[in-house]
Amino acid sequence: MTAPLLSVEGLSLTIQGTPILRDVALTLAPGETLGLVGESGSGKSMTALAATGLLPRGARMRGAIRLDGTDLTALPERDWLRIRGADVAMIFQEPTLALNPVHTIGAQVAETLRIRGTPRAQARRIARERLDRVGLAGVPADRYPHELSGGQRQRVCIAMAIACRPRLLIADEPTTALDVTTQARILDLLRDLSRDEGMALLLITHDLGVVADMADRVAVMKDGRIVEDGPTAAVLGAPREEYTRDLLAASRPAPRPARTIAPEPVLEARSVTRRYGGFTAVSDVSLTLHRGESLGLVGESGCGKSTLTRALLGLEPVQDGSVHLMGRPGGTAMTRADRARISVVFQDPYGSFDPRWPIRRIVSEPFHLTGRPPDAEARITTALEQVGLSAADLTKYPHEFSGGQRQRIAIARALVTNPDVVVLDEAVSALDVRVRARVLALLADLQDRLGLAYLFISHDLGVVRALCDRVLVMRGGRIVEAGRTADLFDAPETDYTRELIAATPAIPHERPRRMPHDRPALV
C-alpha cells in the first residue's frame, strides 16, 4: 500500500465548547477519491475545513491531520498560506456565492497563481488554459460571475482550485446547488481531472448516489464520528452498520406500487400560457389531476414549474387557457370557498412559518378562506394528529421543531380545510434522506386515508417515483413528456427524459454504474 497523501488521526474538534467532531480518522491515497457521506450537522464540512486550516474562530482541535506525513494541526498561518491552493484546494456548494462579484473570472483564476509569484502574463495564460480545461473554452476570461450560469460558475471555481495543480481537492457538496443534468457534467469533470492529473479527491456529500458514482472508498459520518468506512462497493453492497443500512434504504425509496385511479378530474389546466413581458414562462400547458391521484411534475430550475404552480394556486393570472377546480373556474377566478379546496406545502421548512406565530395560529390560517368553523379547535387538533404531532404542540413556536417536524406542520396546515387537492412544491427536497423517507411514507398514507389528490413538484426523479402514479416532464415552459410512472422510467420517449434519468445518481443494485459519455462539455 502506498503512503497516504492525507491522513486524519483521532481528530476531535469543539467550537465555542460545543463538540463537533469526535475521534475522526480518515486516510486518502494519492489520486484516490474518498466519499465522505453524512446528513446535515454530521460534521463532514467541518472535517474539510479542518483539513484546510480554515476553521471558524473558537475552534479547538485535538489529534493529527497529516499531509505527506507533516502534521498540519499545529502549523502556523504563514505555512498554511503555502499549502492552501497549492497542495490542498477546495470548492464549495454555492458557486454563486463562492465567486467575488466584482472581479472577472480570469482574474480570479489567475490570482491563485499570482499570489505565488507567477508573472502576470504567464498567470493569465495558465488561467485561460485551466478555464479551457474545465470546459469553458468558449467563455472569455473578462466575464464577471453574474454573466455565467450556475454550472459555469462551478467550473470557474474548479479552474481556480486546480490552477496550481494541487494534489488534493476537497469538494464540499459541489453539485448540491445545481440541476441534475448539470451535476452529472460537473461530476464527470471532477472524475476526469482526478484521473488525468493524479489528484486525490475528498468528496463531501449527502447523496449516496453521488458517492456510488464517484468514490473509490466511502466513509459514513454521523454526529461527528465516522461510523463506517471501506471500499465503496463493500460499504454500499453490504453495510455493517445499522445507520448505513437506514441511510441506504432511505436513499433509494421503493417505487410506489401501481394503483388504479378512477377518472374524476379535480384539477385541470387547459392550454395555460403565462408570459412576463417578452418571456414565456409557461407555454400551452395542459394537465389533469384525478381524485386520489399523485401526479408528478418534474423539471430543472427555470423550466416554468414554479410559475405553473402559482397559476394553479390562483396567485398569478394566466394570459391564455384556463384552470378548473372540480369543474368550476380555477386559478385567479376561484371563489374563496373553492380556494379552500386546494392547498400547498412549500420546500423550505424554515421559511414556511411566521417565526412569531404559535403553531395553533399557523395551522388555522387557512380558515381565513372559510371563516372559522365552530369545530375549528377539533379540526386543528385532528390535522396535527394526522401528521404525527399532538395537541400539546399547539402552543409551541416553529423554532422549537426540527426540519422534518416543520414539514409535518406545513402538511397539517394544508389539511386543515379538508381540501381535495394538495400541491407539494418541492415539499421533501430540503430534508435529510431518512426524514424524507418518513415524510414520503406519511404523504402516501394520508393520500390513502383521505383520498387526497397530489400535484407533486420536484426536481428529483427518485422521490417522484416513490410517490407518483403519473409523471409530467417539463422543459422550457412546455410539457415534453407525460406517462405512467413505471412506463416513463422504463421506456422514456424523449431524449430529454432519458438524459434526466441517466443523470440522476443511482446506487448499485438498481442500475449499473453510470459511465461518463459524450455530453457537451459546456453547461
Partner 1 sequence: MRRALLTRLLSLILSLVAASVVIFVLLQAVPGDPAAFMLGTGAQPDTVAALRADLGLEGSLPVRYLDWIGGMLRGDFGTSYTYRVPVAELVADRVGVSLPLAAYALILTVVIAVPAGLIAASRRGAAADWGVMGATQLGIAVPNFWFAMLLVLLFAVKLRWVSAGGFPGWSDPRAALGALTLPAIALALPQASILARVLRGALIDTMGQDYIRTARAKGLSQRATIVRHALRNAAIPVLTIMGLQFSFLLAGAIIIENVFFLPGLGRLIFQAITQRDLIVVQSVTMLLVFAVIAVTFAVDLAYALADPRLRRR
Partner 2 sequence: MMSGRIRLSPAGWIGAALTALFVGAALLSLVWLPHDVGVLDISARNLPPSPAHPLGTDHYGRDMLSMLMAGARTSIAVALLAVGIGLGLGVPLGLLAAARRGSWLDEVVMRGNDLIFAFPSLVIAILITAVFGPSAVNAILAIGIFNIPVFARVARGGALPIWTLDYIMAARVAGKGRALISFQHLLPNITSLLIVQATIQFSLGILAEAALSYVGLGAQPPTASWGRMLADAQTMIYTEPQLAIMPGLAIVAMVLGLNLLGDALRDALDPRLRRMGV
What are the cell numbers at 518? Answer: 459524450
DSSP string computed for 318-386: -SEEEEEETTEE-GGG--HHHHTTEEEE-S-TTTTS-TTS-HHHHHHTTHHHH---TTHHHHHHHHHHH
- Residue 169 CB, nearest approach to partner 1 (Å): 11
Beta bridge partners, 228, equal: 220
- Residue 204 CB, nearest approach to partner 2 (Å): 23
- Residue 84 CB, nearest approach to partner 1 (Å): 4
Based on the number of CB atoms within 10 Å of its own CB, is 94 exposed (0-12), middle (13-18) or buried (19 or more)?
A: middle
Of 144 and 367, nearer to partner 2 (C-beta) is 367
**Whether the Cβ atoms of residue 208 and residue 251 lie closer than 8 Å to each other:** yes
The residue type at 57: R
Q: Which of 85, 239, 404, 462 binds partner 1 (CB under 8 A)?
A: 85
Q: Which of 97, 315, 441, 491 binds partner 2 (CB under 8 A)?
A: 315
Q: Which of 116, 360, 361, 396 binds partner 1 (CB under 8 A)?
A: 116
6 makes contact with partner 1 (CB under 8 A): no
Residue appearing with cell numbers 385567479: 332
What part of residues 159-178 is at the interface with partner 2 (CB under 8 A)?
Answer: none
CA dihedral over 428, 429, 433, 435, signed as positive or negative: negative
84 makes contact with partner 1 (CB under 8 A): yes
The continuous run of DSSP H or E covering 105 comes out as helix 105-114
193 makes contact with partner 1 (CB under 8 A): no
CA separation for the pair 393, 101 (Å, rounded): 44
145 makes contact with partner 2 (CB under 8 A): no
Per-residue three-class SS string for 262-303: CCCEEEEEEEEEEEECCEEEEEEEEEEEECCCEEEEECCCCC
Q: Which of 157, 250, 311, 488 binds partner 1 (CB under 8 A)?
A: 157
49 makes contact with partner 2 (CB under 8 A): no
Of 228 and 426, nearer to partner 2 (C-beta) is 426
Q: Which of 3, 115, 337, 378 binds partner 1 (CB under 8 A)?
A: 115
| Binds 369: which of partner 1, partner 2, none (CB < 5-8 Å by kind) | partner 2
- Residue 236 CB, nearest approach to partner 1 (Å): 30
| Binds 101: which of partner 1, partner 2, none (CB < 5-8 Å by kind) | partner 1
**Whether the Cβ atoms of residue 256 and residue 467 lie closer than 8 Å to each other:** yes
101 makes contact with partner 1 (CB under 8 A): yes
89 makes contact with partner 1 (CB under 8 A): yes
| Binds 351: which of partner 1, partner 2, none (CB < 5-8 Å by kind) | partner 2
Collapsing DSSP states into helix, strand and coil, what is residue 422?
Answer: strand
- Residue 340 CB, nearest approach to partner 2 (Å): 8
- Residue 200 CB, nearest approach to partner 2 (Å): 32
Per-residue three-class SS string for 10-51: EEEEEECCEEEEEEEEEEECCCCEEEEEECCCCCHHHHHHHH
CA separation for the pair 237, 203 (Å, rounded): 19
What are the cell numbers at 267? Answer: 384539477
Of 77 and 495, nearer to partner 1 (C-beta) is 77
CA angle 223, 225, 231 (to 5 degrees): 125
What part of residues 391-420 is at the interface with partner 2 (CB under 8 A)?
Answer: 397, 399, 410, 413
Of 92 and 346, nearer to partner 1 (C-beta) is 92
**Whether the Cβ atoms of residue 324 and residue 370 lie closer than 8 Å to each other:** no
Stretch 137-156: interaction string toward partner 1, x if CB under 8 A:
-------x-x----------
**CB neighbours (10 Å) of residue 335?**
12
Q: Which of 25, 75, 86, 442 binds partner 1 (CB under 8 A)?
A: 86
The strand order across the sheet containing 328-329 reads: 279-290, 265-276, 320-325, 328-329
CA separation for the pair 324, 268 (Å, rounded): 5
Of 369 and 521, nearer to partner 2 (C-beta) is 369
381 makes contact with partner 2 (CB under 8 A): no
Based on the number of CB atoms within 10 Å of its own CB, is 234 exposed (0-12), middle (13-18) or buried (19 or more)?
A: middle
Of 28 and 414, nearer to partner 2 (C-beta) is 414
| Binds 79: which of partner 1, partner 2, none (CB < 5-8 Å by kind) | none
Which window, 36-44, 350-358, 452-460, 500-508, contacts partner 2 (CB under 8 A)? Answer: 350-358
| Binds 407: which of partner 1, partner 2, none (CB < 5-8 Å by kind) | none
CA separation for the pair 439, 443 (Å, rounded): 6
Q: Which of 13, 63, 92, 182 binds partner 1 (CB under 8 A)?
A: 92
- Residue 92 CB, nearest approach to partner 1 (Å): 6
Of 84 and 290, nearer to partner 1 (C-beta) is 84
CA dihedral over 52, 57, 59, 61, signed as positive or negative: positive
Give φ, ψ of 34 to 5 degrees. -110, 125
Binding site for partner 1 (CB under 8 A): 52, 54, 77, 81-86, 89-90, 92, 94, 97-103, 111-112, 115-116, 144, 146, 157, 160-161
Binding site for partner 2 (CB under 8 A): 16, 56-58, 313, 315, 336, 339, 343-344, 346-348, 351-356, 365-369, 397, 399, 410, 413
